[in-house]
């Protein structure tokens, strides 16, 4: 986990681009971090970037609705690590504190009404 402490992460608020339980998310080439009210979910793009011992992801095990990526052989390429603090606040207030200089747009389909800008 020490490797993650030095990574520059930028989080975006969830405005419908992922599971409604997610408050904020951060994407990189090797992983996505989902922050819910009660846990952090690290979704690794491929097994090589997942920590040793991380369980292999399956659609049934990952309750956050995130498409499964598979190789040409049909094998799952991802791993998931869930972090939940024992005896923590079950209803924390999650909020962003500083706005970043950049932003993310989601252009879904051909209908501009569905675009999130």
* Domain spans in the chain, listed from the N-terminal domain onward: 1-88
pTM of the full structure:
0.62
* Partners of 26 in beta bridges: 33
The kind and range of the H/E element at 4 are helix 2-5
d(CA 93, CA 74): 40
Per-position pLDDT tens, the chain of length 117: 566 556 678 888 888 888 898 999 998 888 899 998 888 999 887 655 555 554 444 333 344 544 445 555 555 556 888 998 888 887 888 777 888 777 778 787 898 887 877
**Residue 68's Cα: distance from chain center in Å?**
13
């Amino acid at each position: 986990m020490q490797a993650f402490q030095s990574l520059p992460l930028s989080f975006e608020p969830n405005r419908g681009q992922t599971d409604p339980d997610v408050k904020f998310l951060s994407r990189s080439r090797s992983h996505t971090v989902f922050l819910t009210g009660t846990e952090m979910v690290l979704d690794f793009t491929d097994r090589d970037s997942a920590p040793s011992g991380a369980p292999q992801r399956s659609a049934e095990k990952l309750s956050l609705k995130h498409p499964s990526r598979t190789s040409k052989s049909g094998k799952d390429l991802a791993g998931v690590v869930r972090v939940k603090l024992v005896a923590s606040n079950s209803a924390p207030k999650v909020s962003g504190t500083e706005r970043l200089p950049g932003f993310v747009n989601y252009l879904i389909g051909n209908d501009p009404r569905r675009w999130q800008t």
